């Protein structure tokens, strides 16, 4: 069981009945302010997910689907975003310092 918690309050935002978040179907989840720092989300389905103000620093997101996700104000510094689909994602005010966006889809 994995618990995704709010970075400031520690409140549980989502419980996932799995040992890993890799390849998980999390589409449409409400994860605003989530602490996902350093997490392995490779090939995860995060379409339409609310990740406003989330901490995704140093996260492994290679091949993840973030189509239409909201990343406004998110910290994505040093994250692996190779091959990520960011089509129609809302990315206002986020930080992507040293993030690897190789082969990412940015439409």
Residue by residue, DSSP assigns 28-60 as T-B-TTBB-TT-B-TT-B-TT-B-TT-B-TT-B
**Burial group, residue 107, by CB count within 10 angstroms (0-12, 13-18, 19+):** exposed
The whole-number average pLDDT for the span 90-104 is 96
Token pair 């997910």: residue: 49
- Written as six digits, the tokens of 106 are 């940015």
Measured distance CA(89)–CA(81) in Å, rounded: 13
**Per-residue model confidence (pLDDT) at position 14:** 98
Is pLDDT above 90 for 107? Answer: no
Look over the chain and give the mean of its residue pLDDT values, rounded to a whole number. Answer: 97
The whole-number average pLDDT for the span 19-23 is 96
Closest of 30, 28, 25 to residue 14, by C-alpha: 30
Residue 26 makes CB contacts below 8 A (sequence gap 6+) with 14, 16, 44, 45, 46, 49
């Amino acid at each position: 069981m994995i618990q995704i918690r709010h970075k400031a309050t520690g409140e549980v935002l989502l419980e996932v009945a799995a040992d890993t978040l890799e390849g998980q179907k999390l589409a449409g989840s409400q994860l605003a302010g989530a602490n996902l720092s350093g997490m392995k989300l490779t090939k995860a389905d995060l379409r339409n997910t609310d990740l406003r103000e989330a901490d995704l620093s140093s996260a492994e997101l290679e091949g993840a689907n973030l189509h239409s996700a909201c990343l406004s104000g998110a910290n994505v510094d040093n994250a692996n975003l190779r091959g990520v689909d960011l089509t129609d994602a809302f990315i206002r005010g986020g930080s992507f310092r040293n993030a690897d966006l190789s082969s990412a889809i940015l439409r």
